[in-house]
Structures are given as structure tokens and as C-alpha cells.
């Protein structure tokens, strides 16, 4: 047994059984060791941002970490954007980052870099296994740390000599952390404040948006408390049988207008809401002036237990409101837009589907129709770094091979991690990809006006439009191994999407809106 063997054995012993990888020379011992551990599923990704986003999708669905295998500092750097999203989603991920042999670092070879510094911003734990004897114990420590609570990416740096030198001993078991329940006084204080408030709201985030917590939050709604969620959520149920809280609006002025008169905001699994960006003469904090705030359950605490205790304290019923199943009466026809697409998705998406949403400005059309569709779950863009919709779908499909996965993407977003299509094809994953092709960064056109920068002129439009030439997504998808079709009418999309839902395996649909 060498250090690489010890690492993989410890990962598998702690139920880390998927590895999304883009390896290099320093990681060859890890790659070779995979042949001796069939329980570890290796998934090759042709860009590190795909690997890290896939690990995020896997962790959100499996409730346990996958590992990534990244090649030194530049490899980690290529995956940073989706690790940023994973950190904001509080997803457990174990990044294994190969490094030069410990004695080789001093020579500053071309790929040498300060990996320890590079990983700090998006790692809740980071250490280097500088001896083969330390690999197994540090691996177990990394797995435990990834769970938090509330969880997040961790980084284990593996020098090449620690991987190839002999290591002994059995796999080390991780000491898993447990979320503490909110204290009794915290529950009592929240209940008193809610009873005394004239117009209170409860704001949910993180674990508080999961299915078991949403059921308890519905009891608060039934007791007369308005429930909101954060704008972007790591994982939440939607559709028939699920409670549908209000969602904090993306644009700050719209959020504050909706919250006007609110005199109490109680946080559960989240913190004070803020605007995504600063704008001239507009507030950053999305709490109405004079509104009191308090926390029922911090991110690291058990939101399910906290919401249940609070609902009990307020005399909430055993069950709260749920969405009823209501599908569009007929197939949409005519022009193709986000709302006709949403209608087709609502009509044909099967129960238990997983939606990985990076659709940006087109997402509202799908969300409106899907609110009363068959029960499904949604994984959203938690950190704002676009390009996660395709990688998330890879990870979700590996974690739940029996569930249909739907990846919704803006055309600009899709191009960030388009290499993911090759992995979808190679692994034959049951994922239907929809790209909304409007050939512009529409959100940036909106934001240019909101920031006070004015209308885009000829030079500015060159940085906001995606045409000239238009991207031929069907050719790109087919070139990366996927069956693909382009749709220009509602009838075209209805037929293509219904067909994709009726079969297994990957499918690509370009929606020209």
C-alpha cells in the first residue's frame, strides 16, 4: 500500500465513492490506485470547472461528498468558480489537489504555485499531507470537515512522493459532526417576537429549504406567518405536494417594496439578506427600515428541529398548505418563449425529476409553470457564478441514476462549461439539456441600465451580444457526442421535450427564443 492507496481506501470507507477528475502527472499514483478499488467511480471531466460543479451537484443530492482530483494550482484555479458556488451552497466536497514532490518544490518548476494560498478563499479546511503516514488520517479529517456544519468544500493537498511512498495501516474512519438543535430560549424568543409583531416574516435558507424543513415552515404559514426563502437555494422541493414559500426577489428595490411594512424578520438557516450588487442611491441591506431581526437557527444548527419547535410554540397545525397538481390544459403553440417552454416542461417532466437551474433571465417562465407540476427538486445557482447548470446535472445524475435530470441554461452560461456535454455522453447519463438561445447576455443589458451606465452603444454592445456569429449549439452538442435538436416554435419544443422525457439517456435541445 502506498499513500494513494491509503487515500482512496479511506475515502471509500467513509462513503466517498465518486471522483470527478481532470488529473495530470502528479496524480498518476491516485489514478493507478483506482484499479484496485472498484467501489470508487471515476468520472473524467475535460475542464476542472466541470469537475468541481459536478461534485457540487453530487453532494447536494447524495448528502455526502464526492471528491475531485485536480492537477496542482492551475488545475484548482480552473475549478474555482464552481467551488465558489459550492461554498455558497454549503456542499460537502473533498478536493484532492496533486502537488510536486515535497523535495521538488524548492526548485520552482513551471507548474509550481502556492496551492495553500490559492485554496483558502473557497475551502473551509485545507491541509497538505507531506508524509505518506499522514495521508489516511488527514483524509478522514478532510471528510469530516466537509460536513461542517453547515458544510463546504475542503482541500487536501497531496504531494507526489506522499502518494508513491509506502504507507501502512487500515483506513481511518471520520468523526462525523452533528448539527445542534437551536436552544430553547432561542425558540421562545422567536415565538414571543412573532406573536408581538404586526407584520412578521420568516426567511429560510440552506438546510431550512430542504423538504423536511419546508414541511415545518408550512405550519408557520398556516399559523399566519409569511414565509420567504433566499433568492437562490442549494436544493428545495417544488411542485405538487410541496409548500411554496415566497422567494426573496433578485432586484433589491423590488424586494424592499414587497417587504414594506414588515416589522420583524426571523432568520432560519440564513443571515441578513443583501442586494446582489450595489447600485447608485439604492440600499445594500434588504431589510425594511425599523424592522427588527433575530435568528432562530444559525447555518450550523438544525433548522428542521428549530422550525418544528417554533411551529409547536405558535400552535401551528400538524400540516400546512401544499401545492396541488395542475398541469397546462393543452400543449402550447405559436412563438417559442420562456413561458411556452415552461408549459411543455410542466406537462412532461416526470415525478422525482431534478432540475439544475442556470437559466438566468429565462428561468421565470419555467418556474411559473413548474410550481404546480409533478413533484420535483430544484438545484439553483447559489453563488452567482454562471456556468453551473451543465456540471450540476452530471453530479446529480451520478448521485441519483434512477431520476430524470433536467439542465436549464442560458446560452452564455452554457458556454462557460460546454465541455460537460462530452462527460454526459461518455457516462450515458439520463440528463436532458435545454439551452435558451437568445444570443445575448440579456441580464447584463438589464444591469447596464440599472447601474446608471446608460444605454449600450456600438462598442459596449460588442461585450453584451453573443451573435455575429450565432453559436450553432446543435453542431457543438453533436460534436461532443450528444443527440441534439434545435427548436424555433412551441410545437417543436413540445415534441422534442416529450420525446426526451419518454426515453433514457442524454439529450440536447436548443430553444431559439
Question: Which one has a higher pLDDT value, 451 or 39?
Answer: 39
CA–CA–CA angle 200, 206, 209 (5° rounding): 65
Q: Where in the chain is the domain with CATH 3.40.50.1220?
A: 184-232+240-313
- Strands 246-247 and 226-229 turn out to be parallel
pLDDT at 286: 97
pLDDT at 446: 78
**Does residue 416 carry a pLDDT above 80?**
yes
pLDDT at 377: 98
Q: How confident is the model at residue 109 (pLDDT cuts 50, 70, 90)?
A: very high
Cα 213 to Cα 209: distance, rounded to the nearest angstrom? 6
Q: How confident is the model at residue 40 (pLDDT cuts 50, 70, 90)?
A: very high
- Mean of the per-residue pLDDT values for the chain? 96
pLDDT at 281: 85
Contact indicator for 108, 157 with CB cutoff of 8 Å: no
pTM (two decimals): 0.96
Contact indicator for 503, 448 with CB cutoff of 8 Å: no
**Does residue 34 carry a pLDDT above 80?**
yes
Cα 60 to Cα 93: distance, rounded to the nearest angstrom? 10
What element of type H or E holds 340?
A: helix 338-348
Secondary structure of residue 138 in the 3-state scheme:
helix
Secondary structure of residue 202 in the 3-state scheme:
strand
pLDDT at 184: 97
Residue with cell 405538487: 240
In what side-by-side order are the strands of the sheet with 153-159? 41-44, 18-22, 66-71, 93-99, 153-159, 126-128
Cα 465 to Cα 504: distance, rounded to the nearest angstrom? 35
- Strands 236-238 and 376-379 turn out to be antiparallel
Query: What are 49-73's pLDDT values in tens digits?
Result: 999 999 999 999 999 999 999 999 9
Cα 464 to Cα 457: distance, rounded to the nearest angstrom? 10
Query: What are 194-211's pLDDT values in tens digits?
Result: 999 999 999 999 999 999
In what side-by-side order are the strands of the sheet with 236-238? 236-238, 376-379, 353-358, 405-410, 431-437, 507-512, 484-487
C-alpha cell at position 321: 398548505
Q: Domain 338-512, CATH 3.40.50.970 — does that match?
A: yes
Query: What are 431-471's pLDDT values in tens digits?
Result: 999 999 998 877 777 787 778 777 888 888 888 888 889 99
Beta strands in 23-176 (DSSP E): 41-44, 66-71, 93-99, 126-128, 153-159
Least confident interval from 243-257, 316-330, 462-476: 462-476
Cα 375 to Cα 124: distance, rounded to the nearest angstrom? 33
- How many helices (H) and strands (E) the chain has is answered by 21, 18
CA distances (Å), 493 to each of 65, 456, 499, in order? 36, 32, 10
Q: Domain 3-164, CATH 3.40.50.970 — does that match?
A: yes
Q: Please give the average per-residue pLDDT across 29-58, as a whole number.
A: 98
Give one DSSP letter per residue of 69-90, joined into a string: EEEHHHHHHHTHHHHHHHHHHT
Cα 209 to Cα 237: distance, rounded to the nearest angstrom? 8
pLDDT at 186: 97
Using left for φ > 0, alpha for ψ between -120 and 50, and beta otherwise, residue 169 falls in: left
Q: Where in the chain is the domain with CATH 3.40.50.970?
A: 3-164, 338-512
Length of the chain: 513
**Does residue 139 carry a pLDDT above 80?**
yes
Q: Please give the average per-residue pLDDT across 473-490, as a whole number.
A: 98
Burial profile 465-495: b = 16 or more Cβ within 10 angstroms, e = fewer: bbeeeebebbebbbebbbbbbbbeebbbbbe
Q: Which fold has domain 184-232+240-313?
A: Rossmann fold (3.40.50)
**Does residue 510 carry a pLDDT above 80?**
yes
Cα 8 to Cα 21: distance, rounded to the nearest angstrom? 13
pLDDT at 359: 95
Secondary structure of residue 18 in the 3-state scheme:
strand
Q: Which of 502, 452, 492 is nearest to 510 (CA)?
A: 492
Amino acid at each position: 500500500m502506498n499513500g494513494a492507496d491509503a487515500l482512496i481506501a479511506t475515502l471509500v470507507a467513509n462513503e466517498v465513492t465518486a471522483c470527478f477528475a481532470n488529473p495530470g502527472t502528479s496524480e498518476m499514483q491516485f489514478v493507478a490506485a483506482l484499479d484496485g478499488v472498484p467501489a470508487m467511480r471515476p468520472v473524467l471531466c475535460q475542464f476542472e470547472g466541470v469537475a468541481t460543479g459536478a461534485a457540487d451537484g453530487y453532494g447536494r443530492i447524495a448528502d455526502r461528498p464526492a471528491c475531485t482530483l485536480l492537477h496542482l494550482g492551475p488545475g484548482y484555479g480552473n475549478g474555482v468558480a464552481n467551488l465558489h458556488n459550492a461554498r455558497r451552497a454549503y456542499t460537502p466536497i473533498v478536493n484532492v489537489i496533486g502537488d510536486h514532490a515535497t523535495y521538488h518544490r524548492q526548485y520552482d518548476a513551471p507548474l509550481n504555485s502556492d496551492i495553500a494560498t490559492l485554496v483558502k478563499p473557497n475551502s473551509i479546511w485545507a491541509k497538505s499531507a507531506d508524509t505518506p503516514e499522514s495521508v489516511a488520517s488527514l483524509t478522514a479529517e478532510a471528510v469530516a470537515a466537509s460536513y461542517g456544519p453547515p458544510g463546504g468544500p475542503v482541500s487536501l493537498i497531496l504531494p507526489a512522493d506522499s502518494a508513491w511512498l509506502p504507507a501502512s495501516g487500515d483506513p481511518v474512519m471520520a468523526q462525523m459532526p452533528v448539527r445542534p438543535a437551536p436552544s430553547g430560549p432561542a425558540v421562545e424568543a422567536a415565538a414571543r417576537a412573532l406573536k408581538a409583531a404586526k407584520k412578521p416574516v420568516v426567511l429560510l435558507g440552506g438546510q431550512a429549504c430542504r423538504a423536511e424543513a419546508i414541511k415545518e415552515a408550512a405550519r408557520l404559514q398556516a399559523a399566519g406567518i409569511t414565509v420567504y426563502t433566499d433568492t437562490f437555494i442549494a436544493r428545495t422541493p417544488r411542485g405538487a405536494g410541496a409548500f411554496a414559500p415566497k422567494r426573496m426577489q433578485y432586484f433589491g428595490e423590488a424586494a424592499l417594496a414587497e417587504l414594506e411594512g414588515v416589522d420583524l424578520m426571523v432568520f432560519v438557516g440564513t443571515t441578513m439578506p443583501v442586494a446582489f450588487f450595489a447600485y447608485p442611491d439604492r440600499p445594500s441591506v434588504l431589510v425594511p427600515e425599523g424592522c427588527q431581526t433575530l435568528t432562530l437557527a444559525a447555518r450550523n444548527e438544525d433548522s428542521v428541529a428549530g422550525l418544528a419547535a417554533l411551529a409547536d410554540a405558535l400552535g401551528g397545525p400538524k400540516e400546512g398548505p401544499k401545492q396541488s397538481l395542475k398541469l397546462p390544459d393543452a400543449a402550447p403553440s405559436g412563438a417559442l418563449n420562456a413561458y411556452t417552454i415552461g408549459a411543455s416542461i410542466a406537462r412532461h417532466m416526470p415525478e422525482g425529476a431534478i432540475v439544475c437551474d442556470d437559466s438566468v433571465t429565462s428561468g421565470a417562465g419555467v418556474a411559473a409553470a413548474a410550481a404546480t407540476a409533478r413533484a420535483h427538486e430544484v438545484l439553483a445557482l447559489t453563488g452567482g457564478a454562471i456556468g453551473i447548470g451543465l456540471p450540476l446535472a452530471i453530479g446529480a445524475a451520478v448521485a441519483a441514476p434512477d431520476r430524470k435530470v433536467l439542465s436549464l441554461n442560458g446560452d452564455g452560461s452554457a458556454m462557460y462549461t460546454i465541455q460537460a456535454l462530452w462527460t454526459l455522453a461518455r457516462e450515458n447519463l439520463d440528463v436532458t439539456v435545454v439551452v435558451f438561445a437568445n444570443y445575448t447576455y440579456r441580464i447584463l443589458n438589464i444591469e447596464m441600465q440599472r447601474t446608471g451606465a446608460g444605454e449600450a452603444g456600438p462598442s459596449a454592445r460588442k461585450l453584451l451580444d453573443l451573435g455575429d456569429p450565432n453559436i450553432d449549439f446543435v453542431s457543438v452538442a453533436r460534436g461532443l457526442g450528444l443527440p441534439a435538436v434545435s427548436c424555433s416554435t412551441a410545437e417543436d419544443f413540445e415534441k422534442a421535450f416529450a420525446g426526451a422525457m419518454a426515453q433514457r439517456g442524454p439529450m440536447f435541445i436548443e430553444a431559439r427564443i
